[in-house]
Structures are given as structure tokens and as C-alpha cells.
Chain A
Amino acid sequence: MNKQINKKKTGHTVLQDHLALLFEQSPIGIIEWNNQSEVIDWNHAAEKIFGYSREEARELKVSAIVEQNLTEKMVQISEDIIRSRDVIQSTNPNITKDGRRIICDWYNIPLLDQDGNVIAQASFVQDVTDREKSRIAEREQRVRAEAFRDVVVALNSNLQLISVLDQILISVSSVVPYDASTIMLIEGEQSVVVRSRGYDDAILGLRLWLSDTPNLRRVIKTKKPSIINDTHASEEWVASPSTEWIHSSITAGIMDEGETIGFISLETRVRGAYSSVDGENLNTFATQAAIAIRNARLYEGAQKAKEEAEAANQSKSTFLANVSHELRTPLTSVLGFAKIIRKRLEEHVFPNVQVKNERTQRALNQISENIEIIIAEADRLTILINNVLDLAKIEAGKIEWKSEPVVISEIFGRAISATSVLFEERGLSLYQEIEDNLPEIQGDKDRLIQAIINLLSNASKFTEQGSVTCHAYQDDDKIVFKISDTGIGIAEEDLPRVFETFVQVGDTLIDKPQGTGMGLAISKQIVNHYGGQIWVESQVGVGSTFFITLPLSPHKPEEQSPQEDPLALQDKKIDSRGNDLKENVAATPGTGSDRAKTILIVDDDKNIRNLLRQELEREGYLVDEAKNGVEALSQVKKKPDLVILDILMPELNGFDVAAVLRNDPATMGLPIVIVSILEDHKRGRHLGIDRYLTKPVEVSEILEAIKTLLSPNQSSENG
């Protein structure tokens, strides 16, 4: 093109005219230079870009439109073009006539004569300031975003506060460059360096009096970043030999709810390094630091509260264990002496008292009744202490929860049969309605039965007459137990409190509290453990309906490993006397074998025989009984499938019975389960006893042992 311009110098052609128009009207600036980098001519677009008219331009050197430090570079480009005769492209900052800094794309070409000599140069130039600015902004934005992302990631990954603050200092550097940085926290009248980068670690813990550091005081006062761009000249800067190298400093406040709680401060050896934009950016990071500090403080607070609560709970458990001990000792005296007095009176005093008048007789009756009351109340106190421990243990999470398949009808049935005597005593009707084919749930049978027993026993206590009705049904994804009574009901204002510990609602002076007031609280704890709900609906004078729902979907309660625990949970157990056995609850599903097996129960205690008979018959076993060793040996001739054997019995003891059985070929393989207070496992093993259980023992344990011993893969021992 340039060649054509040179060629057609002599005569105008259409093309030449058009090219002149193109030169003049091109939206792109066109400049013709001589080889000394002086403007020969430029077009209208170039006038607009640089602000100099065409006439003015003809006087310009390249240095007029480039920054001082770039003049050399431009001259260099020009020389490169002359030498290489090639096109050179560049993007440079330029200066306009009115001193604005713009950015231009340059396309520089050599103008060659016929011999290939560079006679002049031309440039095509375009002002791309806007494009470049947005590109720079974009890049800065990206860098900032990446820096912030790193900080947010650090914030969200539950790192230690120190790690988060370090990440903030690292990320800041890509947005606001520095040579050294610190994060400080205000403590009283001082600012303490907690993290730093670029400084010696010795700076950590350094305390600055706020009164001695004007720039920090200004940040607190104005809540805006402080920028010192020439520390050596600034009155706000406190100089010290170790910070001699610093020329610029920028400090932003770390704010928590409007209060400055610390600072993030950057220093660099470059003078005039920081702008208000840097201040804004630094503020953003300071906000992140504030979040990290607040989170850390909240976490510390929560952690401390948790530890305190745990300690309190622990001391509560210990306290209860001690109280239990301290209470039982006097209780032993009260109950023990009362029982001895009763015995002495019945055996030696009453039979020998000559009743002479009515008053004496009345006194004797009173003494007898009063002693009974003392014993009954002391017994009640014992149960109360056990319940307190029970509840404390659940609350402290120190109970070992079993996870076993639970058949709803079974636990309901067991709870009902365990409490049926209460209803009989009070002449109440008990109706039950259990939906067919309810699905099984996973849980601890004994605990779930306990939860229902408490509701049933509660219903019996507060129902004078009428009936109690039990429903069990499936509602969507949960099992519902519903226990309705026709009792005194509960006032609406009392409803929310019935499941609280030690609360018996209503006027307890009139209503006469029965029980310990902890049954419902225990039930609630159990139900809660399984993610279920418990509540009551009631109308005074009409009755109450208690609901328990248990989710069908497998709720995984936290695995709790049994801990050594100073609190013993007084499980319902067979004690050596066989007392309280009505409350005993078994927890083994029916054996479902083809032929009903016969169990021989050998025990001198009638209560224990009765209990075991009931439980075994409920499981579908046939039961024979023997009350001593001699009877046992004659009963064995009826060929039972298994023997439950007590040891301490009059006449022939259990070990002797076992020895005889083991030595007789006819009974050699007969499974023997010893259930005794005597603990002599060694002797038991010696005699070939199949299972040795020590009282107190849970009925479920006995049933489990029987089930195992009578299961098919064990039956070979029988033959």
C-alpha cells in the first residue's frame, strides 16, 4: 500500500482519492513517522486519541505521547523495525496532550522504497484503555476471588484460629502486596501481635500500647483503614531501628459488631505503595479475620460450656453414687431393725402378752400396723433410691443399650402382664388392642418394656374406677402406643410438666402421691433415646391418654460402650429371696420348636419357682417343679429336657443333685442350668454344668440360656 502511495505520486487516480479518504476517515489512528521517531503526519482518529491537532502533531517526537520511561523502548522499536523490516505489535501506555494516561494497541510497520530501504514508518493505533481497564479489573477480581476463596475454605474447615489467620495473611498478599504483615488483637489498652508474616517470629506476642500508636488509634476512631505512604515522614508512624526499612504501611481494623477488636497491618519497603482501593481490599480480609475470630471465640465458649456441663454431670453422678451409699446405710438400720422388731413381736412378744383391756389390744394392733408401715415406707425409699440412680444413669448416658429385634406385641404383652396385678388390686378393667402384623423394630426390649410399664403403672395409680385401654398400631413410619385411662386426668397447665423428674402434678396433699414421681421421666428418657416421642392428652375428671411413638426407620442411637460406672442400675432381677418377681420381665422370643420341651425347676424358694414357671410357660415350655434335691431326683425320671437347679437347698444340695445326674447314664447329657446365689464356677465346671448363672440374674438371661441349650445344634448332648 505504501509502495502504491509512492508510485502514484505523479497522477491522481480514483484509488488514490479513496485511499486519502480512508486515511482521513479511518476510525483507527494512522501515524507516519520518519526514522527519527518524529511524526510526519497523522489522521483525524490519531488527533482524537492523543489530543494534538494534525498541525501540532507534525512538531511532535514520539516522547511526547509516551511515558518518560517508555521513550527509550519506543525508539528501540523503531530501530527494530528499520533493521528487521518487519511488523511490530505492542500494547503501551501513552500520554495525551492533557496528560491523561491511556493504553493503546500499536501496529507498527516499515515503509519500504523499491529497493527495500526503510524510508519511513507508519503506525496504526487504537485507544484500548477501557478494554484494558476492565481486563485488569477482571484479573484483579479473579485474584481477589481466589484469595478470598482460600480464606473461606480455611474458615469453613474447622481449622484452628491460627491457621485461618495465617491463611488470611497469605491470601492478602496476592491482592495487596506487602513485605511484612501482622494480625493484632486488642487486649485492654494494648494491641498484641498474634500472627505475622515476613517479620521474625519474635514479633509474636509483642504488645503495643494503643496510646503510643497514633495510626491504630485513628483506625479505631474512624473505623477506616489507615494508610501511611511515607513512614519516614509521617508523624503517625512510630519509628524504630528494626522497622527502618519500612516506607509504606496500611492498617485495617478487625471489627466485631461495630467494635474494633484487632488490626491487620501490611508494611512494604516501597514508598507510596498503598491506595484507598488497597484499603478496601484489606477491609474485606479484615472482615474474614473477624469471622474467624468470632467463630473461634464461640467455639471456645461452647467447648468450655460443654466441658463444664460434662464436669457437672460427672460430679452429679459421683454425688448420686455417694448419696446412694450414704442413704443405704441408715436405711439398712431402719429396715433391718424394723424387720427384727416385727419378728420378735410376732414370735416372742405378742403370743406372751396377756391382753387385759381394750386399750392394750388397740396399742398392740397399732404397734403391729405401724411396724408394717415403717417397713413398707423403707421399701419404698429403697425403690426411690434405685430409681434416682436409674435416671441419673440414663441422663449421664451411662446405660448399655442393647440392640435386638423387638416384636411389638411381645413387649406390650409383657408390660401388661407385669402390671396386671396392679389393675386387679384396684378392680380396674384392662383392655388391649394390638394391631396384627406390626413390623419389628430394633431396640432394647427391657428398656422399652420399662417405658410402657411406667405408663401402665401410672394409669393404674391415678384411676379410681373404670378401665385402662391399651392400643398399639402402626401410623405411617412409626409405631404408636396409646394408653387411655378413665382416671382423674391432668389439668392443662400441668400437662407439659408430667414428664419432668419428681413432678407429680395436682395437689399432692390431697391426691396422695404414689410411687416415686420418676417413672414418666424414665419413660421419656428411654423413648427419646430411640428418637421417639412421648406426650399426654387429658381432660380433668374424664381421663388421660398417654402416647408413645417409636420410629420404624432404623434410628441409630449412638453406640455407647459400657463404662465402669459408680452408679449401678438396679435392673429388675431375681434376688436371693425371689421378691418383687412380679415385676420381672423376660426378653426372649418364643422358641417355636416343634415339640414343647419340659423344664424341671429345682429350687426351695416357692417364689422363684412360681416366677420361673410363669415365664417359662409363657414361652411355651412345659414345667415341672421340685422343692429340694431329693424331689428333683425323683422328678428327673419323668425325663425333662432341661433342669434349672438351685444350689443351696435343704437335704440334698444342688451340686450333689448335679453329681448324681452326671453319673447316671440315663441323665448324663441332660442340660443343667444352675441359678444360685452361690458362686462356685469351679465346682460347676468340674461337674459338667452347662450354664452357671448367679443371682441376682435377669429372667431373660435364664431364658436365653435355655433357648441356646435346647436349640437343635445343642440337642446331640441330649441323646
Chain B
Amino acid sequence: MTPKVLIVDDHEYVRLIIEQALEEIEDQGVELLTAADGEEALAIIREEVPHLVFLDVMMPKMNGFDVCRIVKQDLMMDNVYIILLTAKGQKYDIQKGEEYGADLYMTKPFDPDELLALSRKILKLIE
């Protein structure tokens, strides 16, 4: 099965960076999907069941916390690995993310290489 990574952020450039950062694993056959808001993200997660989701927190329509909560708690999709991307990096947010079942937390600005290495590890891909 082709591994899928979903990139969710309302900022086009941020989606672009993550896409470009993950170019190497895309070359290895990982399918990159993108969504610009929480609702779109949720629809894609239900449909495609990605292995890994990079999920922005502050987004229109539905925020990242709610997406995370629905996926992990309501839909019980434990196999979807969710990395929350936040611009704040606050304890409060981390706590909330944990409650909602996020697997990992990353603070903006992030390092594209770090994102790549992380994706490789989670998708169990070899460099």
C-alpha cells in the first residue's frame, strides 16, 4: 500500500514548504495530499486514511484540535499519526493537543530537514 502523508495548513506557502521538504520521500513513492482547512482535512482523512498528518492548529472552518479530536477519539483512527503544527508552542496548547490525542507537536518555524527525517522514521522509510 502506498504510504500517504496529508499536509494541512491554511497558508499556501507553508503547505508548499512541507511538500518540497518531503520531495525525497515522494520520490520514494509516498503520496502527498494537501488540505487548506480543517473540514477539508477531515474529509480527506476519512477517505484516504493517511499514515501521517501534518496538522496546523489555527485554521478556518475547523481548527486542528477539533480535527485531531474527531480523528482520534470519535473515529478511533489510531493508525493515523498526527503531528500538530503550532505557531505558539505553548504548554497550554501542548496539553490540549495531548488531550485530543495528537501524537507529536512541532513549533513554527520548523526545519524542513527535521520534517523529512521525522516522516521517514514514522513511515519507517530508509534514507
Contact (Cβ within 8 A) A565 B90: yes
Closest chain-A Cβ to B32's Cβ sits at a distance in Å of 15
Are B108 and A677 touching (Cβ within 8 A)? no
Distance in Å from the Cβ of A675 to the closest Cβ of chain B?
14
Whole-angstrom distance from the CB of B64 to the nearest CB of chain A?
13
- Which chain A residues lie closer than 8 Å to B90 at the CB level? 565-568
Q: How far is the CA of A378 from the CA of B13 in the complex (A)?
A: 16
**Would you give the shortest CB distance from B1 to chain A, in whole angstroms?**
21
Q: B121 on the interface (CB 8 Å rule)?
A: yes
Known: A565-B92, A679-B98. A577 touches B103 (CB 8 A): no
When chains A and B are docked, how far (Å) is the Cα of A382 from the Cα of B92?
Answer: 20
Per the 8 Å Cβ criterion, residues 555-594 of A in contact with B are 564-568, 570, 576-577
Interface: B70 (CB within 8 A): no
CB atoms of A340 and B14 under 8 A apart: no
On chain B, the residues within 8 Å of A382 by CB distance are 109
Give every chain A residue within 8 A of B122 (Cβ-Cβ). Answer: 648
A325 touches B14 (CB 8 A): no
Contact call B109/A570, Cβ cutoff below 8 A:
no
Smallest CB–CB gap between A304 and chain B, Å? 30
Nearest CB in chain B to that of A576: its residue: B114
A-chain residues with CB within 8 Å of residue B102 when the two chains form the complex: 679
Docked Cα-Cα span, A336 to B22, in Å, equals 12
Interface of chain A residues 177 through 223 with chain B (CB within 8 A): none
Question: If A339-B111, A678-B104 touch, does A576 touch B118 (CB 8 Å cutoff)?
Answer: yes
Are B88 and A568 in contact (CB-based, < 8 A)? yes
A324-B92 contact given A340-B20, A577-B114, CB 8 Å threshold: no
Q: Within 8 Å CB of A680, what residues of B?
A: 103
Taken together as a complex, chains A and B put the C-alpha atoms of A131 and B98 apart, in Å, by 88
| A687 interface residue per 8 A CB criterion | no
For window 89-127 of chain B, which residues contact chain A by CB distance below 8 Å?
89-93, 98, 102-104, 106, 108-114, 118, 121-122, 126
Is B43 in the interface zone, CB < 8 Å from A? Answer: no
Interface string of A243-258 (1 = CB under 8 A from B): 0000000000000000
A155 to B71 alpha-carbon distance, docked (Å): 63
Q: Which residues of A contact B89 (CB under 8 A)?
A: 568, 570
A564 touching B92 in the complex, CB below 8 Å, given contacts A324-B87, A333-B14, A340-B17: yes
- Would you call A335 an interface residue if the criterion is a C-beta within 8 Å of the partner chain's C-beta atoms? yes
CA of A216 to CA of B48 in the docked complex: distance in angstroms? 86
Whether a CB of chain A sits under 8 angstroms from the CB of B21 is yes
Judge whether B104 and A677 touch: CB under 8 Å.
yes
Whether A328 and B103, one on each chain, are in contact in the complex, defined by CB atoms closer than 8 angstroms, is no
Taking the closest CB of chain A, its distance from the CB of B113, in whole angstroms, is: 7
Determine whether B58 belongs to the interface, using a CB cutoff of 8 Å to chain A: yes
Query: What chain B residues lie within 8 Å of A679 (beta carbons)?
Result: 98, 102-104
- With both beta carbons as reference points, the residue of chain A lying nearest to B89 in the complex is identified as A568
> Does any Cβ of A come within 8 Å of B11's Cβ?
yes
Per-residue CB proximity of B50-71 to A under 8 Å, as 1/0? 0000000010000000000000
Q: Which of A313-334 contact B (CB under 8 A)?
A: 321, 324-326, 328-329, 331-334
Chain B nearest Cβ from A229, distance in angstroms: 72
Q: Which residues of A in the span 69-94 have a Cβ within 8 Å of any Cβ on B?
A: none
Q: A324-B88, A333-B13, A568-B88 are in contact. Are A678 and B113 (CB under 8 A)?
A: no
Once the chains bind, are A329 and B108 in contact (CB under 8 Å)?
yes
**A654-676 vs B: 1/0 string, CB under 8 Å?**
00000000000000000000000
A648 to B58, CA, bound (A): 28
Does B88 contact A566, Cβ atoms closer than 8 Å? yes
Q: In the complex, what's the smallest C-beta–C-beta distance from A487 to chain B, in angstroms?
A: 33
Which residues of A lie under 8 Å from residue B126 when comparing CB positions? 650
Confirm or deny: A337 has a beta carbon within 8 angstroms of a beta carbon on chain B: yes
Q: Is the CB of B111 within 8 A of A329?
A: no
Interface pair B17/A331, CB less than 8 Å apart: no
* Contact indicator A340/B21 (Cβ below 8 Å): yes
| Inter-chain contacts of B58 with A (CB < 8 A) | 325
Q: Does A343 contact B (CB under 8 A)?
A: yes
**CB-based contact B87/A336 at 8 Å:** no
CB <8 Å contact, A328 and B91? no
* CB pair A340 B112 closer than 8 Å: yes
CB atoms of A568 and B104 under 8 A apart: no
- Tell me which of A332, A343, A565 contacts B113 (CB under 8 A): A343
| Shortest CB distance A679–B (Å) | 6
B109 adjacent to A328 (CB under 8 Å): yes
Residues in B with CB closer than 8 Å to A648 are: 118, 121-122
B111 lies within 8 A of A328 (CB)? no
B86 to chain A, nearest CB (A): 9
Contacts of A567 in B (CB 8 A): 90
A347 closest partner in B (C-beta): B24
Q: Is the CB of B17 within 8 A of A337?
A: yes
Q: What CA separation (Å) do A606 and B21 show in the bound complex?
A: 22
User: B100: shortest Cβ distance to chain A, in Å?
Assistant: 12
CB of A577 within 8 A of CB of B112, answer: no
CB distance from A645 to the nearest CB of B (A): 15
B92 engages A332 (CB within 8 Å): no
Return chain A residues, CB-CB under 8 Å to B114: 576-577
Assembled-state Cα–Cα distance A264/B110 (Å): 71
Contact B109 A335, beta carbon cutoff 8 Å: yes
B17-A336 in contact (CB<8A): yes
A564 to B92, CA, bound (A): 6
Contact indicator B13/A325 (Cβ below 8 Å): no
With beta carbons under 8 angstroms apart, the residue of B88, B109, B113 that contacts A378 is: B109
Q: Name the distance in Å between A562's Cβ and chain B's nearest Cβ.
A: 8
- Known contacts A333-B11, A337-B17, A678-B104: A325-B112 contact under CB 8 Å: no
With A340-B20, A677-B104 as given contacts, are A328 and B87 in contact (CB-CB < 8 Å)?
Answer: yes
Q: Contact check, A329 vs B112: say whether CB atoms are below 8 A apart.
A: no
List B contacts of A325 (CB < 8 A): 58, 87-88
A606 CB → nearest B CB, Å: 13
Chain B residue with the shortest CB-CB distance to A648: B121
Q: Which residues of B contact A340 (CB under 8 A)?
A: 17, 20-21, 112
The CA-CA distance from A378 to B110 in the complex, in Å, is 11
* Chain B proximity of A473: nearest CB distance (Å): 37
Q: Hey, what's the 0/1 contact readout for B1-45 against A, CB within 8 Å counting as 1?
A: 000000000010110010011000000000000000000000000
Please give, as numbers and ranges, the residues of chain A lying within 8 Å of B93 by CB-CB distance: 568
Smallest CB gap from A680: residue in B: B103
- Known A-B contacts A325-B88, A566-B88, A568-B90; the reply to A331 vs B103 at CB < 8 A is no
Complex-state Cα separation, A336 to B121, whole angstroms: 20
Q: Separation in Å of the B98 CB from the closest CB of chain A?
A: 7
Question: Given the interface contacts A678-B103, A679-B103, does A332 sit within 8 Å of B91 by beta carbon?
Answer: no
- Considering the complex, give the chain B residue whose CB is closest to the CB of A339: B112
CB pair A343–B112 under 8 Å, yes or no, is: yes
Q: Which chain B residue shows the least CB distance to A382?
A: B109
User: How many angstroms from the CA of A382 to the CA of B107 in the assembled complex?
Assistant: 11
Q: How far is the CA of A335 from the CA of B107 in the complex (A)?
A: 13
Give, as a whole number of angstroms, the nearest-CB distance from B102 to chain A. Answer: 8
> 6 A-B pairs, CB-CB below 8 angstroms?
A332-B109, A336-B111, A567-B90, A568-B89, A576-B118, A648-B118
Give B contacts to A, CB under 8 Å: 11, 13-14, 17, 20-21, 58, 87-93, 98, 102-104, 106, 108-114, 118, 121-122, 126
Given contacts A333-B13, A565-B91, 7 further A-B contacts (CB under 8 A): A324-B88, A326-B87, A333-B11, A333-B14, A336-B109, A568-B90, A678-B103
Q: 9 closest Cβ contacts across the A-B interface?
A: A568-B90, A336-B17, A328-B87, A332-B109, A648-B121, A325-B87, A333-B13, A332-B108, A335-B109
**Hey, which bits of chain A sit against chain B, CB under 8 A?**
321, 324-326, 328-329, 331-337, 339-340, 343, 378, 382, 564-568, 570, 576-577, 648, 650, 677-680
